[in-house]
Amino acid sequence: MKPIRNLLEKLNLTPNNLAYYETAVTHPSVHGDEVAPSKDYERLEFMGDAVISFVVAELAYLLRPDLDQGKMTKMRAHLVQSKALSAHALKLDLGSYIRVGASIRANQNQFSMRLYEDVFEAFVGAIFIDLGYDVVKQFLVEIFKDEVINFNIDMLADYKSELQEAIQAERRDSVYYVVVNESGPAHARIFSVECRYGNLVLGTGVGETKKEAEQMAAKEALAKKAV
């Protein structure tokens, strides 16, 4: 286990109280496995979770005027989900700094994604408590700014379901999708799909997978108010 001060130096963070960061990388098993009780990261995790959610929401509002409330909510949920936060923890190499009890130490190379997520949130909480909002915001902006700017909301949308619901609200029949063209090499196929209702083409879409192309076809049908 590396001293957490090393990570702070890499990130150009000068702590006022190093104990916060040491606590942020201390797993609850330390408290349970060792004779001397020790603080763990759970309270800081609570704080960090709230700070991350707020900063990402602020970035979404300021940087994505093209998104309405519902889409901003979906984007935020995607960017702060467990898988995403654990990936950021791995990028920071937080696993090298986590302090665990004997019951986990033997399998330290098998840390769960949830553990990485928890420690990342706790580390953010430590920065906030120790150095304040402006510092932790800058830290998080560097991590999330490009993700917010470049986020493709279409990857979360279910235009097919939305279209189907619109169709069935008026009619009993269903739309269906037909691949009308495939191009490109085997490892990078491009699919063109038509969304049809009976013999009527409601929309067309292109994507790197059939599923993506179908979603784009449904999106076009909804945009054209074909239903």
The pLDDT profile of the chain, 227 residues, written as one tens digit per residue, is 899 999 999 999 999 999 999 999 998 877 665 544 458 899 999 999 999 999 999 999 999 999 999 899 989 999 999 889 999 999 999 989 998 876 665 555 556 788 899 999 999 999 999 999 999 999 999 999 999 999 988 777 788 888 888 888 777 678 999 999 998 877 778 999 999 998 899 999 998 889 889 999 999 999 887 54
Cβ-contact 68, 90 below 8 angstroms: no
The token pair at 223 is: 């945009």
The CA angle 28-33-39, to the nearest 5 degrees, is: 40
Provide the pLDDT for residue 25: 94
- Give yes or no for a contact between 19 and 38, defined as CB atoms under 8 angstroms apart: no
Ordered structural domains, the chain, with CATH: 4-152 (1.10.1520.10), 159-223 (3.30.160.20)
Listed in order, strand segments (DSSP E) in the chain are 176-183, 190-197, 200-207
Q: Which residues pair with 181 in a beta bridge?
A: 192
212 is annotated as an active-site residue: no
Active-site pick, 121, 130, 214, 220: 121
Q: Which neighbouring-strand residues pair with 190?
A: 183
SS3 80: coil
Marked catalytic residue, from 49, 117, 130, 194:
49
Rounded CA separation 156/144 (Å) = 18
Is 220 a catalytic site residue? no
**In this predicted structure, what is the pLDDT of residue 125?**
97
